[in-house]
Amino acid sequence: MIKGILFDLDGVIVDTAVYHYSAWRRMANELGFDIDEEFNETLKGISRMDSIDRILEKGGVTLSKEEILKLATKKNEWYLEMVEKMTTDEILPGIETVIGQIKDLGLKMSLGSASKNSPAILNKIGLMDKFDAIVDGNSVTKSKPDPEVFIKGAEALGLKNEECLVIEDAFAGIEAAHAAGMKAIGIGSKENLPNADMNLSSFEGESLNDILKALA
Ligand code: B16
Ligand code: MG
């Protein structure tokens, strides 16, 4: 029986995935190459340092550890400039409704994000207080598809892994949920997220109760 919901952040609660893409693209362009949306899909849910390694490999660029760290810091500054301008209007459709349903059903909820910027984002959009626990890039050492972030989320809620349902927009995130023994709803098409237990374009007009019954 599902007793807790583990939310990914980027691409599920807010579309910061587009800000990550824009900042990574700016970095790649400054290094003399480009990345496209298809490649960007492979970065979703992947930690900042693993992302930069993949991007530099894609561009055939070799740099020292210090240079890579400097670039990642610069990218994060560009990203935070965009986060700073975020408002509650950027909460994705249906998210506030599903959070209301979680509370009505007496379920618990935790964040399960790879992002080190999640506290800044959740405070900016006013959803921090809704979470019973926050597990993010500051509390894990392994990137999705490793299940660490969701295992810690279940622990933080005092639940068994199989009592938690993950909501994700990334292929790697759904792999992580499955590796933790959890089912996962994919926010995105079956084409992009063929591994999800259910695909939704958003929670708009959806009943969490019906979803839980369908997944049982
Ligand atoms: P940051 P999620 C992930 O968040 C993003 O999908 C990924 O693109 C990003 O590189 C990663 O967080 C790290 O983010 O640079 O803010 O620490 O989708 O797991 O919520
Ligand atoms: Mg995501």
User: Residue of the nearest CA to atom 12 in ligand 1?
Assistant: 115
The predicted complex's ipTM stands at: 0.93
| 120 and 173 together in one domain | yes
Which of the listed residues 83, 107, 139 is the one where a domain comes to its end?
A: 83
Ligand 1, residue 144: give the atom nearest the CA.
19
Buried b (16+ CB within 10 A) or exposed e, 65-102: eeebeebbeebbeebeeebeebeeebbbebbbbbbebb
Rounded mean pLDDT of 101-127? 97
Our answer on whether the CB atom of 121 is closer than 6 Å to any ligand 1 atom is no
What average pLDDT does the chain have?
97
- The domain that holds 140 is classified in CATH as 3.40.50.1000
The whole domain housing 172 covers 4-15+88-215
- For ion ligand 2, residues whose CB falls within 5 Å: 8, 10-11, 45, 169-170
- Name the closest ligand to CA 82: 1
pLDDT of residue 188: 95
| 68 and 116 together in one domain | no
- The domain that holds 49 is classified in CATH as 1.10.150.240
The model's pTM is 0.92
